């Protein structure tokens, strides 16, 4: 996919939101997306590429079809392609932005993942967009998927709901998908038994990515993936 074409479609989606008065202004939309107006202006004037988090948040919040945004295929709006009551495979149809302080589940950017794992209130309560997803019982934070290593289970741009687990008495459910905080950064992977009790086997669903062993002492925090919102 060409970044220039994605940028063009992003601007087209923004103009649609403005023309239909779903958002009052570019400044209003920038605030809702959690981006500085100056940076937003750079994107709208094609001087900066959009990031995965911004694309996912736009699709999640305003019903934009992520497949259209990333590839140009299909309709701009998800509800133009299927009745609102028809579920998408693996998707949660009922989700909306939170309106009250402390309401809903925070959508955490990758840069703030450490705070999400430790439960820092400065990250979870003040810096992130929050969404109400009634079906995700027990979810403590949301993150967007980047890359294709977990395809077809998760697509790039999907949003997964996570529940933190304590490392002091960690018990992995083999073959479940976890978010692992490691010295390589956060990984969304399936976890299987390793060669011994000091290792786990980290597996991608996409067969193009080789599984590898990871020492337990290089896993700093763990969260169980308990649901997904498929943004397409």
For residue 74, count other CB atoms closer than 10 A to its CB.
Answer: 15
Please indicate, yes or no, if residue 175 is contained in any of the structural domains: yes
Count of domains forming the chain: 2
65 and 136 in a single domain? The answer is no
Is position 174 within any domain? Answer: yes
- Is there a contact between 3 and 36 (Cβ–Cβ < 8 Å)? no
Q: Which two tokens stand for residue 58?
A: 């736009």
In whole angstroms, what is the distance from residue 228 CA to residue 154 CA? Answer: 8
Are 120 and 63 contained in the same domain?
no
How far, CA to CA in Å, does 43 sit from each of 9, 112, 133? 12, 22, 29
Q: CA 36 to CA 75: how far, in whole Å?
A: 28
pLDDT for residue 193: 95
Q: Is residue 90 part of a domain?
A: no
Q: Is the peptide bond before 101 cis (omega within 30 degrees of 0)?
A: no
**Which of 53, 80, 107 marks a domain boundary?**
80
Residues in the chain: 232
Binning pLDDT at 50, 70 and 90, where does residue 222 land? very high
Residue 180 and residue 104 share a domain: yes
Please give the model's pTM, rounded to 2 decimal places: 0.60
Residue 206 placed within a domain: yes
How far apart are alpha carbons 107 and 141 in whole angstroms?
6
- Does one domain contain both 46 and 122? no
Residue 33: CATH number of its domain: 1.10.260.40
Any idea what the Cα angle at residue 86 is, between residues 155 and 19, rounded to 5°? Answer: 75
Shared-domain flag, residues 66 and 103? no
Identify the domain containing residue 182 by its residue range.
96-229
List the structure tokens of 30.
């920038």
For the segment 84-107, what is each residue's pLDDT rounded down to a tens digit? 333 334 443 356 677 776 778 888
Of the listed ranges 5-9, 71-75, 79-83, 155-159, the least confidently predicted one is 79-83
Give pLDDT tens digits for 13-65: 999 998 888 888 998 888 888 788 899 999 999 899 888 778 888 887 888 88
């Amino acid at each position: 996919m060409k970044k220039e074409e994605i940028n063009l479609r992003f601007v087209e989606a923004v103009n649609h939101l403005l023309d239909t008065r779903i958002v009052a202004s570019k400044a209003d939309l920038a605030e809702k997306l959690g981006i500085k107006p100056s940076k937003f202006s750079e994107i709208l004037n094609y001087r900066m590429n959009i990031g995965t988090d911004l694309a996912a948040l736009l699709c999640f919040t305003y019903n934009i079809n992520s497949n259209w945004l990333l590839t140009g295929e299909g309709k701009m709006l998800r509800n133009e392609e299927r009745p609102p009551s028809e579920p998408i495979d693996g998707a949660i149809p009922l989700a909306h932005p939170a309106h009250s302080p402390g309401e809903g589940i925070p959508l955490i950017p990758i840069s703030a993942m450490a705070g999400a794992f430790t439960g820092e209130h400065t990250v979870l309560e003040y810096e992130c967009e929050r969404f109400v997803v009634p079906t995700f019982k027990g979810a403590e934070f949301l993150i967007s998927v980047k890359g294709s290593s977990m395809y077809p289970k998760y697509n790039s741009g999907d949003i997964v709901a996570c529940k933190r687990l304590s490392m002091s008495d960690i018990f992995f459910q083999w073959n479940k998908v976890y978010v692992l905080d490691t010295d390589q950064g956060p990984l969304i992977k399936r976890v299987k038994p390793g060669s011994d009790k000091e290792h786990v086997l980290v597996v991608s669903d996409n067969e193009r990515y080789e599984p590898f062993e990871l020492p337990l002492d290089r896993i700093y925090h763990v969260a169980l993936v308990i649901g997904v919102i498929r943004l397409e």
